[in-house]
Amino acid sequence: MKASVYTQYGPPEVLHLVDVPKPTPRDHEVLVKVHATTVTIGDTIMRSFKLPNISGWQKFMARLILGWNKPRRHILGMELAGEIEALGRKVTRFKPGDAVFASTYDVNFGGHAEYKCLPERGVIALKPVNLSYEEAAAIPGGGQTAWHCLKKGNLQSGQNILIYGASGAVGTFAVQLARRFGANVTAVCSGANFELVKSLGARQVIDYTCQDFTQNGETYDVIFDAVGKLSPMQWKKVLKPGAVHVNVHADSNGGEKVEYMLILKDLIEAGEIKPVIDRVYSFGQIIEAHRYVEQGHKKGNVAITMGIPCQK
């Protein structure tokens, strides 16, 4: 099978499409033929090892987990959607032909390949019937993170929430989910994404390139930093006494659960939320996809459709 492999940290050009052995499912695993995956900011961070603004011990742990001088895991890809091709001997939850979507975050990644084995009791569920594979692949990372962080913030109906980084993969889900919770959403993003974020349910949109949200006189019950870029000096100015600040980097642990996947599936099939797709690249264009995502200006998600196995 073809897979996008990297054996050293660096720019997108360290990625190569190569032939690797097709996996065989173990007793409690399913073999998924991958139809679509995504390139996330997390993929670009792992590929380049340019870590975000995190503490020294977190950087140390990242090196231990990901690899000190070179990557331990050679295939990136944190989410996927596809069709179950084969089952392990003891699998009971799925059957061949089932259309599924899944997170690979807790199973050594590996979504950037034509096939992936996943535990049947892992973070995998039947695909929403009203979505394409490309759309479904964009749900697990951003959708689960947004749900988990909003629940951690204990967001309630009628509360005022500020979502910083509202046009990204996590932010676009957060705006929709916060609206669904009945909250009043103030979204911060660039002016180019104003109409998109407004259409997702934001009551007010602030263009950070020309407005300072800390100077508009508003205060909030919950502040969700969906990109992990706000300083304490900024968010403390507008957080109500006793209110909650949630940071996507610090507060997303534990956000990968099949229960979350099933909740998101139900909401999507009911037409209450939807994934936002900025661009779709072929598997052969995965280097170009990494280049685009690394610029930091994508709207929602960048999907990869598994197709032509060639790369420039």
pLDDT exceeds cutoff 70 at 54 = no
* Residue 8 located in a structural domain: yes
Phi then psi for residue 277, to 5 deg, are -110, 120
DSSP state of 300: B
In the chain, how many domains are there? Answer: 2
pLDDT band at 308 (very low <50, low <70, confident <90, very high): very low
Within this chain, do residues 133 and 15 fall inside the same structural domain, yes or no? yes
256 part of a folded domain: no
Percent of the chain with pLDDT over 70: 96
Q: Is residue 18 part of a domain?
A: yes
Residues 59 and 152 in one domain: no
pLDDT, the chain, mean: 94
Q: Are 192 and 111 found together in one domain?
A: no
14 with 163, same domain?
no
Task: Name the pLDDT band for 51 (thresholds 50, 70, 90).
Answer: confident
Q: 45 and 96: one domain?
A: yes
Arithmetic mean of pLDDT, 87-101: 98
pTM to 2 decimal places? 0.94
**Would you state the torsion angle of the CA atoms of residues 93, 25, 144, 262, taken in this order, to the nearest 10 degrees?**
-10
Specify if 62 maps to a domain: yes
On whether both 135 and 7 belong to a single domain, the answer is yes
pLDDT at 53: 64
Which is more confidently placed, 312 or 219? 219
In a domain, 93, yes or no: yes
pLDDT exceeds 90 at position 278: yes
Question: Residue 253: is its pLDDT beyond 70?
Answer: yes
* 135 and 209 fall within a common domain: no
What average pLDDT score do residues 257-276 get?
98
Question: Quick check: 229 pLDDT over 70?
Answer: yes
Partner residues linked to 205 by β-bridges:
187
Residue 104 has pLDDT above 60, yes or no: yes
Does 40 map to a domain? yes
Q: Is residue 259 part of a domain?
A: no
Task: Specify whether 97 is located in the same domain as 156.
Answer: no
For residue 55, name the pLDDT band (cuts at 50, 70, 90). Answer: low
7 and 134: one domain? Answer: yes
Q: Residue 190 sits in a domain of what CATH number?
A: 3.40.50.720
Query: Among 122-126, 296-300, 306-310, which stretch is predicted with the lowest mean pLDDT?
Result: 306-310
Structural domain of residue 287, as residue ranges?
A: 2-139+275-305
CA atoms of 252 and 171, how far apart (whole Å): 13
Query: Mean per-residue pLDDT for 14-34?
Result: 98
DSSP-assigned states of every residue in 212-260: -GGGSS--EEEEEESSS---HHHHHHHEEEEEEEEEHHHH-TT---HHH
Give percent of the chain above pLDDT 90.
88
Cα 51 to Cα 242: distance, rounded to the nearest angstrom: 31
- Residues 61 and 107 reside in one and the same domain: yes
Out of 51-55, 140-144, 226-230, 283-287, pick the least confident. Answer: 51-55
- What is the C-alpha separation between 133 and 16, in angstroms, rounded? 24
Residue 124 has pLDDT above 60, yes or no: yes
Q: How far apart are CA 162 and CA 213, in angstroms?
A: 9
- Greatest Cα pair distance, the chain, in angstroms, is 61
pLDDT of 140 strictly over 90: yes
Among 165, 108, 100, which Cα is nearest to 139's? Answer: 100
Query: Any idea which of 46-60, 104-118, 190-204, 266-280 has the lowest mean pLDDT?
Result: 46-60
Distance between CA 273 and CA 208 in Å, rounded?
25
pLDDT at 67: 75
Residues 69 and 173 grouped into a single domain: no
Q: Are residues 121 and 17 in the same domain?
A: yes
Q: Cβ distance 103 to 261 under 8 Å?
A: yes
Residue 263 lies in a domain: no
CATH number, domain containing residue 104: 3.90.180.10
